């Protein structure tokens, strides 16, 4: 074999190896083994319900504002409407990835605690905004978020939550939810889909009567089918 051919084959092998690597890295994320998202009150997210998908950033003020009217609507419709929450940690909210990862950690420890923690982030999110945490190290921010979350779910969880931040799988879950959001074309929060369709003005905080206006006709239409 001449040197020229040898190096040609080598180049092809290197290219194949690189391509394989890209495929394997991609395979870590898409599609995930289980569809992601947090299911509100474990309601059935299926074809018998009106399905709302909400994309939220736990440290986003507009997400926080949109939460109470959505919950009011969900309480009103009870089992006829289901909610699946996906997290989209926005890059310009400095601590959002840590907060989102904390939610995935809690969801793995005690699924019923996920929404209480999300609600607490919405309520007290100011202290994790960029400006007040500007001088804190990443490690300090993780510690503060661990303490904050433990204060919501119970201090007996503190060590498990802390350990969760050393578990690469919780990092992966948080990345998967981010990638899922972008794959649905979502780049801001809050953002809503209803029965798989994007709502007009889905980036606006909808109030309770807006939700009623969206869902009432669907409930009526479903009855008549
Ligand atoms: C899980 O979380 C829920 C809601 O915060 C709480 O009521 C329940 O006691 C927790 N379960 C355990 C085993 O800690
Ligand atoms: C951060 O550090 C700078 C310089 O020491 C100080 O001026 C500023 O007030 C600090 N900011 C916060 C939010 O602690
Ligand atoms: C997490 O990992 C870091 C370094 O890899 C280590 O210093 C730290 O003690 C670990 N924390 C826990 C809670 O296991
Ligand atoms: C809800 O928002 C709509 C605009 O989206 C507005 O017209 C309406 O007055 C608001 N209703 C309440 C009760 O605030």
Question: What is the whole-number distance in angstroms between the Cα of residue 109 and the centre of ligand 1?
Answer: 9
Please state whether the peptide bond connecting residue 31 to the residue before it is cis, i.e. omega within 30 degrees of 0: yes
Q: Give CA–CA dist 57/157, Å, rounded.
A: 23
The verdict on pTM exceeding 0.75 is yes
Evaluate: CB of 166 within 6 angstroms of ligand 3.
yes
Query: What is the sign of the dihedral through the CA atoms of 154, 156, 162 and 168?
Result: negative
Mode of pairing for the β-strands spanning 50-56 and 81-87: parallel
Evaluate: CB of 159 within 6 angstroms of ligand 3.
no
Q: Which residue's alpha carbon is nearest to atom 3 within ligand 4?
A: 210
Tokens of 64: 């926080």
Question: What is the whole-number distance in angstroms between the Cα of residue 48 and the centre of ligand 4?
Answer: 29
Evaluate: CB of 207 within 6 angstroms of ligand 4.
yes
Q: Which ligand is closest to the CA of 133, given by its number?
A: 2
The tens place of each residue's pLDDT in the chain, 225 residues long, gives 445 555 665 555 555 554 544 444 444 566 777 778 999 997 787 878 999 999 999 999 999 999 999 999 999 999 999 999 999 999 999 999 999 999 999 999 999 999 999 999 999 999 999 999 999 999 999 999 999 999 999 999 999 999 999 999 999 999 999 999 999 999 999 999 999 999 877 667 799 999 999 999 998 776 655
Best residue for ligand 3 mutational test, from 161, 166, 168, 171 (most atoms within 8 Å of Cβ): 166
What domains, with CATH codes, occur in the chain? 8-211 (3.40.30.10)
The answer to whether the beta carbons of residues 194 and 222 sit under 8 Å apart is: no
**Of the candidates 64, 78, 97, 70, which has an alpha carbon nearest to the alpha carbon of residue 178?**
97
Best residue for ligand 4 mutational test, from 190, 210, 211, 213 (most atoms within 8 Å of Cβ): 210
Mode of pairing for the β-strands spanning 197-198 and 50-56: unpaired
Evaluate: CB of 113 within 6 angstroms of ligand 1.
yes
Q: Which ligand is closest to the CA of 168, given by its number?
A: 3
Exposed/middle/buried for residue 22 (C-beta within 10 Å: 0-12, 13-18, 19+):
exposed
């Amino acid at each position: 074999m001449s040197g020229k051919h040898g190096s040609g084959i080598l180049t092809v092998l290197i290219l194949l190896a690189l391509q394989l690597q890209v495929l394997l890295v991609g395979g870590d994320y898409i599609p995930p083994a289980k569809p992601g998202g947090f299911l509100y009150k474990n309601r059935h997210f299926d074809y018998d319900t009106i399905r709302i998908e909400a994309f939220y950033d736990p440290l986003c003020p507009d997400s926080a504002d949109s939460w109470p009217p959505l919950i009011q609507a969900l309480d009103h419709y009870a089992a006829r409407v289901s909610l699946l929450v996906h997290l989209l940690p926005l890059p310009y909210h400095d601590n959002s990835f840590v907060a989102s990862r904390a939610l995935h950690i809690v969801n793995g420890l005690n699924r019923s605690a996920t929404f209480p923690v999300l609600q607490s982030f919405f309520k007290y999110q100011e202290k994790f905004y960029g400006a007040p945490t500007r001088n804190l190290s990443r490690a300090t921010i993780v510690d503060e978020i661990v303490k904050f979350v433990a204060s919501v779910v119970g201090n007996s969880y503190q060590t498990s939550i802390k350990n969760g931040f050393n578990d690469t799988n919780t990092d992966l879950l948080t990345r998967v939810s981010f990638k899922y959001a972008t794959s649905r074309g979502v780049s801001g929060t809050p953002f809503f889909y209803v029965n798989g369709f994007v709502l007009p003005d889905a980036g606006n905080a909808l109030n309770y009567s807006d939700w009623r206006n969206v869902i009432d006709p669907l409930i009526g239409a479903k009855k008549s089918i």
